[in-house]
């Protein structure tokens, strides 16, 4: 990427700073959290062998790698992410997986050069909620897509429908008493596209049609013996991490409170926390 200031520099800095924690916790993310939603996004893409695809905000590449498998022989997928460390890990993961037809690039998808109507489809697993100007970003994405091709992504519904984020965050607030300033509606972040009406307005404004927004509900299920892994993972990213960073002296008390809250919710040897996302599909 060039050194000129970009519209999403704050997010670039945030994700690069969080990348090592994200990479450490991605086992939890992929197995316990993202699975059913990412699968819905990939299935609804209806990718075809031999096609050319883009994965927005690919992170360490799980969706790009799965998509590359689905589009052989002859298909190609490019995973794009704003964080260089995420892309370096994605490249290593793809090499380990031995999958062909896959490349990665560090870029801000809002302004990246995406070619002129060459893509046969675009997918994203929770990588589209962080744009400073979502309409500009999706307009740029549509410009890279062949008319009639599919955009398919998943994004979080509101916080209170996602107990897996809300419950640990609330336990941490119970210790520090500090309530983070709520982000403005639609501000870049995990809930940047949590309002289905806004998704519709943004995609319509970007020139997409046949916008189909599916309400997908799932559960994050953690067996009792994995609670400590869950505590570790939720403490390294998101709301609990913010609390720990702001109140380093209370780190242990915060983490103990999260652990105890999750233990209290065990039922029959399992912890079950609701999760909810939108699976969105639209036609370029």
Ligand X SMILES: C[S@@+](CC[C@H](N)C(=O)[O-])C[C@H]1O[C@@H](n2cnc3c(N)ncnc32)[C@H](O)[C@@H]1O
Q: Residue 139 in 3-state DSSP?
A: helix
Provide, rounded to whole angstroms, the least separation between the CB of residue 260 and ligand X. Answer: 27
According to DSSP, the β-strands at 102-106 and 145-156 are unpaired
Q: Binding residues for ligand X, per CB under 6 A?
A: 8, 11, 15, 34, 57-60, 62-63, 80-83, 86, 108-110, 125-127, 130-131
Q: What is the 3-state secondary structure (H, E, C) of 146-208?
A: EEEEEEEEEEECCHHHCHHHHHHHHHHHHHHCCCCCCCCCCCCCCCCCCCHHHHHHHHHHCCC
Contact 202, 136 (CB under 8 A): no
Nearer to ligand X, 175 or 238 (CB): 238
Provide, rounded to whole angstroms, the least separation between the CB of residue 8 and ligand X. Answer: 4
Provide, rounded to whole angstroms, the least separation between the CB of residue 204 and ligand X. Answer: 21
Provide, rounded to whole angstroms, the least separation between the CB of residue 263 and ligand X. Answer: 27
Nearer to ligand X, 30 or 213 (CB): 30
Nearer to ligand X, 21 or 272 (CB): 21
Nearer to ligand X, 64 or 243 (CB): 64
CA 136/CA 281 separation, integer angstroms = 18
Contact 143, 116 (CB under 8 A): yes
Nearer to ligand X, 84 or 207 (CB): 84
Provide, rounded to whole angstroms, the least separation between the CB of residue 268 and ligand X. Answer: 29
Q: Residue 251 in 3-state DSSP?
A: helix
């Amino acid at each position: 990427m060039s050194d000129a200031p970009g519209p999403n520099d704050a997010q670039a800095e945030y994700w690069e700073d969080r990348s090592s924690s994200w990479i450490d916790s991605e086992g939890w993310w992929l197995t316990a959290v993202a699975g059913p939603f990412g699968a819905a996004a990939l299935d609804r893409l209806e990718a075809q062998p031999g096609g050319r695809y883009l994965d927005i905000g690919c992170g360490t590449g799980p969706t790009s790698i799965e998509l590359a498998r689905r589009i052989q022989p002859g298909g190609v997928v490019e995973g794009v992410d704003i964080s260089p460390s995420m892309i370096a890990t994605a490249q290593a993961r793809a090499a380990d997986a031995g999958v062909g037809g896959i490349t990665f690039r560090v870029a801000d998808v809002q302004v990246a050069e995406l070619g002129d109507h060459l893509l046969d489809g675009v997918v994203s697993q929770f990588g589209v909620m962080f744009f400073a100007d979502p309409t500009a970003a999706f307009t740029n994405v549509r410009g890279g897509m062949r008319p009639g091709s599919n955009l398919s992504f998943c994004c979080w519904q509101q916080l209170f429908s996602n107990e897996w984020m809300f419950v640990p965050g609330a336990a941490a607030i119970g210790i520090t008493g500090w309530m983070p300033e709520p982000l403005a509606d639609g501000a870049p972040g995990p809930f940047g596209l949590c309002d289905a009406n806004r998704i519709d307005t943004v995609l319509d404004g970007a020139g997409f049609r046949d916008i189909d927004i599916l309400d997908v509900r799932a559960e994050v299920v953690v067996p009792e013996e994995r609670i400590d892994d869950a505590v570790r993972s939720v403490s390294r990213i998101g709301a609990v991490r913010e609390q720990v960073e702001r109140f380093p002296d209370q780190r242990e008390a915060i983490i103990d409170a999260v652990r105890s809250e999750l233990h209290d919710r065990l039922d029959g040897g399992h912890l079950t926390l609701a999760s909810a996302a939108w699976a969105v599909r639209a036609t370029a």
